[in-house]
């Protein structure tokens, strides 16, 4: 058994940890763009694209609930506390108890879901497909093939949570890359074989299942390399497991609220042709900053907060929370501003070719601009919820998540008949901001969020810097209209877009540092935390 100190350096840097997780996520998201570009070219926003995205959304939502919900909110603090209290041996025993129960439950759930898939597609996944026999008949087998992905990714999420608690972030961050690598390989193979749209759909479904097995293998071996060898134990509801389950259900709901709202949007959107694929393609773009920043912050912050609170170091916990919000807004506000004012050129360069038309660009671009308005809220939710989960309070975020889902459903059902897919995006954004405000207000009311003068003075300045950058981009898009026009060669569009993004970054960072919205030296000092593990 490896010594605990091997997995936990004496001094660590929060920014470096954000960067480690963010780098793996960035790699995955960039390859995800390549995958989506190829899928848009082959399938456009046609019926097979709608079916694949809807069928994949179901197990993928469960995967995100486990990976970014229950096991990075309920499991990680308990595992980290076991390490602090009983060392790695105690944490290993706890993990084996959880593994036995989790595997058994997932296997039973998957068997039931496989037999019930026609009913699930008709009632939960995409009820709008029932009136379109071609879509329904394809959605059922694709969803059946992909649902076992849930077993692989839920177990992988548990392994990833263990690695995060042991402060080994890279393997868990890089494993999702292989989903995109495998699906890109499937698309290249389909192109060489000259497969039609339906054949591509089946190939992608089998690729998703293969990717789940590969990702599980990667984190499994990483956990063994970290010195923790997990054996299978007969499933029993031990006190530790009961405590985990008590925390996990509300944690899954609260931590996966963005995914729940996305699933709700998919169900409603199934009533309109091309709506599901349009939402999914826009979602892929805004998931880049959300994944690189928001998920990285949530994954790193939770075990760090749990340790600080376990040690009774409230000052360190407060500093961790404030610095995480500062970092999140510093990186997210310019991304949100860019998506708002230059969404259409981004979509055109990424997707407009093959079966993806100019009308598709206009629709996906409008959805992406709306998502941009909600990006800071989605990231702040990731930064606020660890303040509850690290204190083993999963009930409060679950209540707020339920309120958010109710808001989302009400607005989506109201706007969708008249606005279509953009109405669903508006509902998601409003629900996200409502959730973020409720979380922050509660932390303040409970005095679990320390007052931080540097943060309070920097946020307005960061908003000003992002607004000035957006103004610059608005005029620059007009100046480069000839290069960014649909008739312009793709290489001209790509060069103009790349130059515009680079210039926008220079404007934002120059203004942010000039007016005091950011200070690199202070950011480094505040993100650095000392302390030794027991």
pLDDT digit string (tens) for the chain, length 534 residues: 444 333 333 334 555 655 656 666 677 777 887 888 888 888 887 888 888 988 887 777 766 665 555 555 677 777 777 777 777 777 778 888 888 888 888 899 889 989 999 998 888 787 888 877 788 889 999 999 999 998 888 888 888 878 877 777 677 778 888 999 999 999 999 988 888 889 999 999 999 999 999 999 998 888 888 777 776 777 777 777 787 777 766 766 665 566 667 777 777 877 777 788 888 888 878 777 766 665 556 556 656 666 677 666 767 777 777 777 887 888 889 989 999 999 999 999 888 887 788 888 899 999 999 999 998 898 888 778 877 877 778 788 888 888 988 898 899 989 988 898 899 999 989 999 999 999 999 988 888 776 777 778 888 999 999 999 999 999 998 898 888 888 888 888 889 999 999 999 999 999 998 988 877 665 555 445 433 333
328-345 per-position pLDDT tens digit: 888 889 989 999 999 999
Cross-strand bridge partners of residue 149:
none
Distance of CA 31 to the CA centre of its chain: 15
Return the HEC string of 406-447.
HHHHHHHHHHHHHHCHHHHHHHHHHHHHHHHHHHHHHHHHCC
Q: Can you tell me the distance from the alpha carbon of 232 to that of 36, in angstroms, rounded to the nearest whole number? A: 38
510-520 per-position pLDDT tens digit: 999 898 887 76
Q: Can you tell me the distance from the alpha carbon of 37 to that of 39, in angstroms, rounded to the nearest whole number? A: 5
Q: Can you tell me the distance from the alpha carbon of 174 to that of 137, in angstroms, rounded to the nearest whole number? A: 35
**Which backbone phi and psi does 528 adopt, to 5 degrees?**
-80, 130
Q: Can you tell me the distance from the alpha carbon of 498 to that of 482, in angstroms, rounded to the nearest whole number? A: 15
């Amino acid at each position: 058994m490896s010594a605990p100190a091997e997995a936990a350096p004496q001094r660590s840097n929060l920014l470096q940890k954000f960067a480690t997780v963010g780098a793996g996520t960035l790699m995955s998201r960039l390859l995800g763009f390549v995958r989506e570009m190829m899928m848009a070219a082959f399938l456009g926003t046609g019926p097979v694209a709608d079916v694949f995205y809807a069928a994949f959304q179901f197990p993928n939502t469960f995967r995100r609930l486990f990976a970014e919900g229950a096991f990075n909110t309920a499991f990680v603090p308990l595992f980290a506390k076991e390490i602090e209290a009983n060392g790695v041996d105690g944490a290993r025993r706890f993990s084996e108890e959880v593994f036995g129960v989790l595997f058994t439950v997932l296997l039973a759930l998957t068997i039931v879901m496989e037999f019930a898939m026609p009913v699930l597609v008709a009632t939960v996944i995409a009820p709008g497909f029932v009136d379109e026999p071609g879509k329904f008949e394809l959605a059922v087998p694709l969803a059946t093939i992909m649902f076992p992905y849930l077993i692989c990714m839920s177990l992988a999420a548990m392994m990833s949570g263990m690695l995060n608690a042991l402060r080994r972030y890279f393997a868990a961050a890089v494993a999702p890359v292989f989903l995109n690598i495998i699906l890109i390989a499937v698309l290249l193979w389909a192109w060489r074989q000259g497969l039609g749209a339906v054949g591509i759909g089946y190939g992608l479904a089998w690729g998703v299942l293969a990717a789940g097995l590969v990702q599980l293998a990667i984190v499994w071996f990483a956990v063994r390399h970290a010195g923790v060898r997990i054996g299978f134990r007969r499933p029993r509801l031990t006190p530790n497991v009961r405590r985990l389950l008590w925390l996990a259900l509300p944690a899954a709901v609260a931590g996966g609220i963005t995914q729940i709202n996305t699933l709700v949007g998919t169900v409603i959107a199934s009533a309109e042709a091309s709506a599901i694929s349009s939402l999914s393609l826009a979602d892929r773009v805004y998931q880049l900053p959300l994944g690189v920043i928001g998920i990285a912050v949530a994954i790193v912050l939770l075990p760090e907060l749990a340790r600080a609170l376990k040690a009774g170091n409230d000052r360190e916990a407060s500093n961790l929370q404030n610095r995480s919000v500062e970092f999140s807004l510093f990186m997210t506000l310019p991304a949100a501003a860019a998506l708002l004012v230059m969404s259409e050129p981004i979509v055109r360069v990424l997707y407009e070719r093959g079966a993806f038309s100019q009308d598709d660009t206009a629709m996906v671009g409008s959805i992406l601009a709306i998502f941009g308005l909600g990006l800071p809220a989605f990231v702040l939710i990731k930064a606020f919820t660890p303040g509850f989960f690290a204190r083993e309070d999963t009930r409060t975020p679950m209540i707020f998540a339920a309120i958010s889902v109710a808001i989302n459903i009400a607005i989506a059902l109201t706007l969708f008949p008249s606005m279509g897919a953009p109405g669903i995006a508006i509902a998601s954004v409003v629900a996200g901001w409502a959730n973020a405000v409720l979380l922050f207000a509660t932390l303040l009311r409970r005095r679990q969020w320390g007052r931080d003068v540097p943060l309070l003075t920097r946020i307005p300045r960061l908003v000003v810097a992002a607004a000035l950058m957006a103004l610059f981009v608005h005029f620059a898009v007009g100046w480069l209209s000839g290069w960014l026009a649909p008739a312009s060669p793709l290489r001209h569009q790509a060069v103009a877009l790349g130059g515009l993004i680079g210039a926008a970054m220079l404007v934002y960072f120059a203004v942010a540092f000039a007016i005091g919205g950011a200070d690199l030296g202070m950011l480094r000092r505040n993100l650095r935390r000392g302390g030794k593990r027991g």
